[in-house]
Structure 1
Amino acid sequence: MIATAAATILHVNDTPASLYLGTFSLRQAGYRVLEAATGGEALQVALEGHPDVVVLDVKLPDMSGYEVCRRLKADPRTSEMSIIHTSATFITAEKKVIGLRAGADVYLTQPFDPEELIATVSSVLRLRHVERVALANAARLEEADRKKDEFLAMLGHELRNPLAAISVAVQMLGQKDSNGLSEADERRRSIIERQVNHLRHLVDDLLDVSRITRGKYSLRRSRLDLNSVLQHAFAAARPVMEERGLVMRESLPAEPCWVDGDRTRLEQVFTNLLDNAAKYSPEGSVVTVGAHLDGEHRVRVTVQDTGIGLPVEEQERIFELFAQLDTGLARSRGGLGIGLTLVRHLVEEHGGKVEVFSEGAGRGSTFTVTLPLLAEATQPARPDAVPERIDMRKGEWRILLVDDNPDAREGLSEMLQMWGHTVAVASDGHQALAMATPGAYDVIILDIGLPGLSGYEVAEELRTRVAADAHLIALTGYGAPEDRVRSEQAGFDLHLVKPVELVEIGRVLAQLGPVKRGAPRRQAARAKSA
């Protein structure tokens, strides 16, 4: 707190006797006191003396104390000073309100006892100290939050790089003919694939929860049938259920359930709920998933397990960030304690609500998601995309692949060559720039987190100097919306987030248009976006 001896008070009063008595009392209390008899003088002294508190009479010869107060609060150099208005004449409630609205902290009516003045100044100084501490703490928290976001972004990139290498390798095994792997090897490949997908979802949840809780994300809404969303979630959860010896019973309405939602995010909601049910259920138990129309305006989805259940006190906090049940089973099944936080935020952003009910420990749990329905669609929904197998026919592209992870670089390079493309590789930005002579490549696949020069810097140099006409694709662990915006600004045509399905890379390459040598592709793209 500001010590009395260190606090400076500016006393402003045009009556000599009142000025003398107030100043005398403040100095007796140990304060350093500056004086002014007019509004103009008060403004000048405040600028030069930097007082902590201004004791300001309302009635001054050149301007009112209200105006002095407004000017002090409007000037960044004096805006943090605390102001005590004093008056012997302007003492009505209306006048006090005017003073407080002008920025005063307290309004004292003259005549006042010296002890009342000292106590008021002391109180204002205490409040000012508390405010300063709160602001300092807020600044520290904001800085800590910024560093946390930077850490999460780097963590996501660093985790996605090895995941990408493993994912490419296991997908390449899956692209072989059915006779290429023995039944045992295929089973082992499936295990690796499932666990890589699980790790990828953990990384995605970790990054998503930071963006969602700060509101730094947006939903890509469209009219969709919730039944198809649930079927996708069932397909993703079924291998996990089977692996853990669980039985999943499903029940969906015969008619479509039209909602206005983000398909990816809603699938994330129900996949997390199903994964949660699997995690907390003992082997051999049943998980029941059902959806039904709740009147004409809502659809209700329940995920019910017969597992360890929830004590009443846990039901109150289960949706909090990093909340986990303190049980041996829960800890042994892992998880970050963020999946249900994501579920709550995403459901609420869709205009719905999520609830949990359990009769207690050992009695199972039921999670219920309620979402608003749309009016029945007048046009049929677009059919869901059918999973496709990559076409192995010969490609035409000359590709430069730039990645500092040797395993990811080697695996993807091998896959691209299997598809018939001509591939050269570089391990950093400097090597890429040296290799990317004008007209040498049709497609450049470029990591962003490179040593030395970042992928953004490499892309900007490629666009301006040697590869203005090449297709430039970012393949990176940085997947936040701001990363995508920065990629576009740097000159990338596409932004793919690791680990990416090989079928997606194959689809992207198959859909690329012909390269027109010498065409100012980036300038044309910018003109179109403008």
Structure 2
Amino acid sequence: MEYRILLVDDNDMQRYAIAKTLTSAGFQVLEAQNGTEALQKATQGVDLVILDIKLPDIDGFEVCKRLKSDPSTSSIPVMHLTATYLSTEDKVKGLEGGADGYLTYPVKPSELIATSHALIRMKKAEVTLQKLLHEKEILVQELYHRARNNMQVIASLLQLYSDRCKDPEGRAVLKEIEAKIHVMALAHQKLYESENPSYVNLDEYLKDLTLVAPETGLDTSLKATISYNGESALVLVDTAIPLGLAVHELLTNALRHAFPNGKPGKIDVRLREGVQGEISVDIADNGVGLPQDFSIEKHGKLGLLLASSLIENQLGGKLTYTSKRGTTWHIKIEKELYSPRV
């Protein structure tokens, strides 16, 4: 493959000699005599810019900065080639200014050619890597999308069976499982929508959960309302799913038990992220409250025990409560226990 190099030098003889060396090595050479012309021709599909520094209009340092700041040319490797700026400080300035290479005269043809090949090769490898990464992200998103769809199919089958189940207890169990699958499917939906294939926007996830909770097989005569207040927080999907399941259990528990006999009430859900990344979720209701001697271990039913286990055992967090003029459940997770998978 014939690579195209933009050679920028205001010295005609010097530019001619370098162009001849590059052409003999199989490169196609595009020439520019000043910085302005270089900036124009760099957009014409070149693989490398060999850039002198002492130019009549814009010096090479500035030309390099402009090339690297322009999205249409930022990916093109730039190599300074100069007979004037020879000190270590000059080289440092050039490289810190965005140049990918720095050679000085006199330069051997073999070194010039080898360096040009190396910079182009590095660029091609970077492009290939970015392409592979993009393909991987698409594949991961597709897997999340399929996982969510498969969960929706399972939930639909469970709904079908529960609708035909004549045993009230059996029907209730199927509804519980169906609700949990909806919670997990929602997390995968948020993951599919996320720009980062490892993280879920917890704020959006919990907000949607508060809309799902009243629809998961509960008594339609319930008059309690749910409000949500949160702030943006990104967590790994390994954290989001068990946390979402726990929040869902606490919400449904409040809807079922905090407002007996159809009593109207409200449930407030609040999400906060601390300065060290710790996650706090409060679920507060203004219902009948809990008995004074209540404890999760002794009096908690399966859903509450599950929420406690998810928070404390799977996420390494704490689940506590206060019961005064209603009940408030406090979830605190100091740090995530998992690492990004992608």
* TM-score (normalizing by structure 2): 0.59
CA distance in 1, matches of 2:158, 2:77: 57
Q: 1:134 aligns with which of 123, 129, 137?
A: 129
Letter in 2 for 1:43: L
- Change in Cα spacing, 1:167 to 1:26, as seen in structure 2 (3 Å) is same
Tell me if the contact between 2:7 and 2:49 (Cα under 8 Å) persists in the aligned partners.
yes
Give 1:414's aligned residue. Answer: none
SS in 2 for 1:86: strand
Aligned residues: 240
CA distance in 1, matches of 2:109, 2:300: 74
CA distance in 2, matches of 1:230, 1:20: 85
Matching of residues 154-173 of structure 1 within 5 Å: 154-170=149-165, 173=167
Give 1:124's aligned residue. Answer: 119
- Change in Cα spacing, 1:139 to 1:133, as seen in structure 2 (3 Å) is same
- Change in Cα spacing, 1:381 to 1:264, as seen in structure 2 (3 Å) is farther
CA distance in 1, matches of 2:55, 2:300: 74
CA distance in 1, matches of 2:299, 2:81: 71
Displacement of 1:232:
8.0
| 1:208 maps onto 2:187 in alignment | yes
- Change in Cα spacing, 1:383 to 1:68, as seen in structure 2 (3 Å) is closer
SS in 1 for 2:200: coil
Displacement of 1:38:
1.0
Letter in 2 for 1:217: L
Give 1:46's aligned residue. Answer: 42
SS in 2 for 1:104: coil
CA distance in 2, matches of 1:113, 1:265: 72
Letter in 1 for 2:110: E
SS in 2 for 1:55: strand
Letter in 1 for 2:13: A
Matching of residues 364-383 of structure 1 within 5 Å: 371=317, 380=324, 382-383=326-327
**Looking at CA atoms only, which structure, 1 or 2, has the larger radius of gyration?**
1
Tell me if the contact between 1:10 and 1:34 (Cα under 8 Å) persists in the aligned partners.
yes
Tell me if the contact between 1:57 and 1:87 (Cα under 8 Å) persists in the aligned partners.
yes
Matching of residues 232-381 of structure 1 within 5 Å: 235-236=302-303, 266-267=307-308, 269=310, 343=314, 347=315, 352=316, 371=317, 380=324
SS in 2 for 1:215: strand
Displacement of 1:95:
2.7
CA distance in 2, matches of 1:148, 1:66: 46
SS in 1 for 2:110: helix
Displacement of 1:107:
1.4
Tell me if the contact between 2:283 and 2:328 (Cα under 8 Å) persists in the aligned partners.
no
CA distance in 2, matches of 1:59, 1:264: 74
Give 1:467's aligned residue. Answer: none
Q: Which runs of 5+ in 2 are unaligned?
A: 192-197, 207-270, 272-280, 285-289, 330-342
| CA displacement, residues 289-309 of structure 1 (integer Å, 9 cap, x when unaligned) | xxxxxxxxxxxx67xxxxxxx
Tell me if the contact between 1:86 and 1:107 (Cα under 8 Å) persists in the aligned partners.
yes
CA distance in 2, matches of 1:163, 1:229: 29
| 1:147 maps onto 2:142 in alignment | yes
- Change in Cα spacing, 1:97 to 1:234, as seen in structure 2 (3 Å) is farther
Letter in 2 for 1:208: A
Give 2:25's aligned residue. Answer: 29
| CA displacement, residues 40-95 of structure 1 (integer Å, 9 cap, x when unaligned) | 22122223x32100000111111101121122223333222111012222233433
| CA displacement, residues 112-134 of structure 1 (integer Å, 9 cap, x when unaligned) | 21111111111111111111111
Q: Percent identity?
A: 29
CA distance in 1, matches of 2:143, 2:162: 27
CA distance in 2, matches of 1:153, 1:233: 31
Give 1:9's aligned residue. Answer: 5
- Change in Cα spacing, 1:153 to 1:129, as seen in structure 2 (3 Å) is same
Tell me if the contact between 2:148 and 2:189 (Cα under 8 Å) persists in the aligned partners.
no
Q: Which runs of 5+ in 1 are unaligned?
A: 175-188, 237-262, 271-300, 303-342, 353-370, 386-530
CA distance in 2, matches of 1:12, 1:38: 7
| Structure 1 vs Structure 2 CA RMSD | 3.6
CA distance in 2, matches of 1:126, 1:169: 65
| 1:95 maps onto 2:90 in alignment | yes
Displacement of 1:147:
2.4
Tell me if the contact between 2:145 and 2:189 (Cα under 8 Å) persists in the aligned partners.
no
- Change in Cα spacing, 1:125 to 1:198, as seen in structure 2 (3 Å) is same
Tell me if the contact between 1:87 and 1:108 (Cα under 8 Å) persists in the aligned partners.
yes
Matching of residues 477-516 of structure 1 within 5 Å: none
Letter in 2 for 1:16: D
Letter in 2 for 1:38: N
Letter in 2 for 1:71: R
CA distance in 1, matches of 2:201, 2:159: 25
